[in-house]
A and B are shown apart, each in its own frame.
Chain A
Amino acid sequence: EDQVTQSPEALRLQEGESSSLNCSYTVSGLRGLFWYRQDPGKGPEFLFTLYSAGEEKEKERLKATLTKKESFLHITAPKPEDSATYLCAVQARNSNYQLIWGAGTKLIIKP
């Protein structure tokens, strides 16, 4: 069964304290893995797409990496404005529209 598990469920960091969020997945042939950011009261905002093991993408203080079993979202020297829920999703190769989503990691950055 295709599934996505994100950990931890919540993470509290001090401003400037780097860390990583984990997204473990099982899927019958990976078409793509996606990271989104969701702020309270808003819909998710697209961050990255990763297609194959070894691929990396960066955006400001965020860097996403991919292996055959998991993806990490590394946050370097975070700021309070990085506080949000980060969602991971995968798409199977035989699916055009269906994404399998994780439940998210709520990240809180304290000043």
Chain B
Amino acid sequence: ETGVTQTPRHLVMGMTNKKSLKCEQHLGHNAMYWYKQSAKKPLELMFVYNFKEQTENNSVPSRFSPECPNSSHLFLHLHTLQPEDSALYLCASSQEGHSRYGYTFGSGTRLTVV
């Protein structure tokens, strides 16, 4: 157990579906992140929340919608996705940006869009 829990672990959804990914951390961290990891590609930062406020949005399509109700929970709402959105979606947390202690990542949600 890494301290960051992501659910579900696997998700298959059609292009017209709406689903949500959930991330939870009880490490006392105040920054949380969504990353996308595609095969043989570098990690792509999608969203950053610091003290529940969104601080970065890396030109992510509007079909991805983040929500951070408190500093322990982070959601990624998905709707009308495309097959190229199939990837591993990783949640991470840290104490105010990337420090010498690094990020703590969850195990990810493997998303397949059909």
A interface residue numbers (CB < 8 A to B):
4, 9, 32, 34, 36, 41-47, 49, 87, 89, 91, 96-104
Contacts and interface: CB of A to CB of B under 8 A. Distances in A.
B108 interface: yes
Interface residues of B, number: 28
Nearest to B99: A49
Contacts, number: 63
Contacts of A91: 98
B41 A97 contact: no
Given A32-B98, A34-B98, A103-B42, A97 B56 contact: yes
Q: Which of A46, A47, A49, A87 has most chain B Cβ within 10 Å?
A: A46
Contact of B42 (A32, A49, A102): A102
Nearest to B40: A103
A102 B44 CA distance: 10
Contacts of B42: 4, 100-104
